[in-house]
Amino acid sequence: LAADVAFERGCPNSMDAVSDRDYVAETMFWATATMIHLSRWSEDLIIYSSGQFGMVKLSDAYSTGSSLMPQKKNPDALELLRGKSGRILGTLTGFLAVMKGTPTTYNKDFQEAWEGLFDTVDTMSDCLQIAAGCLATLSIDPEAMKRGLSADMLATDLAEYLVRRGVPFRETHHISGAAVKLAEDKKCALSDLTLEDLLPLCDKFEADVVDIWSYDKSAESRDTEGGSSRRSVLEQCAKLRRYLEETEGDVVPY
């Protein structure tokens, strides 16, 4: 019978065969996990596309104008993606609530699985297509991103500078914090502190400390796997492309 219906094998236990709906719960769970990621990604883009940030701009195809303010562009597609994640999470929670009170045999309660399951798969499929369209058509403003940088972001680099000179990180962490406090007291940027300002905090500072005040150098210095250097990022992209190519045949169109 298993061969006739194209199953890999028969079920070794009849009670499990009629009472198990783990496959439904697992499908809903992975859909929910996917949608939670999409929701958080959508929230990132909603924030970065806002007037306060302006780092990305959504295509007109995935946004709408405001009914009141003509200059405003609403990230409707992203907001709907974010909202759909709550819908799918609610469906999963509802199904688990149905299952938890049933005895280990077949129950008519199980009919509640199918409407939620099919809606979950349909909704996630639509959302993935919309997310792909949003990503493919948005534009990025590098200058706006640069304007969002501040010298205090390099406080860790200041601590690591001292680590390279033999100071334990537990000490450099406090020294870097003291430097941030000093800059606040002097009402200047962290990068505006002079060598004379820093030497009282630690005698390991030298004239080359000014070289750490570079965002590009900071990013490039993280050159390990998963780091922020250009090489690391391109390597991550290449690995993901290879993974997609290798698993393309595993995806069954719905």
Per-residue confidence in pLDDT tens, the chain, 254 aa: 778 888 888 888 888 888 889 999 999 999 999 999 999 999 999 999 998 999 999 999 998 877 766 667 889 999 999 999 999 999 999 999 999 989 988 889 899 899 999 999 999 999 999 999 999 999 999 999 999 999 999 999 999 999 999 999 999 999 999 999 999 999 999 999 999 999 999 999 999 999 999 999 999 999 999 999 999 999 999 999 999 999 887 766 65
pLDDT of res. 198: 96
Task: Note whether 206 and 228 are same-domain residues.
Answer: no
pTM of the model: 0.83
pLDDT of res. 76: 93
Looking up residue 186, the CATH number of its domain turns out to be: 1.10.40.30
pLDDT of res. 87: 96
Per DSSP, 148 falls in state T
pLDDT of res. 29: 97
pLDDT of res. 251: 67
Do the domain assignments include residue 218? no
CB atoms within 10 A of CB 215: 15
Task: Note whether 99 and 197 are same-domain residues.
Answer: no
Q: Which residue has the tokens 């405003």?
A: 72
Task: Note whether 28 and 111 are same-domain residues.
Answer: yes
The distance from CA 71 to its chain's CA centroid, rounded to whole angstroms, is 29
Do the domain assignments include residue 1? no
Do the domain assignments include residue 3? no
Task: Note whether 94 and 56 are same-domain residues.
Answer: yes
Q: With contact defined as beta carbons under 8 Å apart, do 148 and 55 qualify?
A: yes
Do the domain assignments include residue 9? no
Helix (H, G, I), strand (E, B) or coil at 4: coil
Q: Using alpha carbons, select from 175, 172, 181 the residue that is nearest to residue 152.
A: 181
Looking up residue 54, the CATH number of its domain turns out to be: 1.20.200.10
Do the domain assignments include residue 254? no
Q: With contact defined as beta carbons under 8 Å apart, do 171 and 160 qualify?
A: no
Q: Indicate the burial class of 121 (C-beta count within 10 angstroms; 0-12, 13-18, 19 or more).
A: middle
pLDDT of res. 254: 56
pLDDT of res. 142: 96
CB atoms within 10 A of CB 170: 8
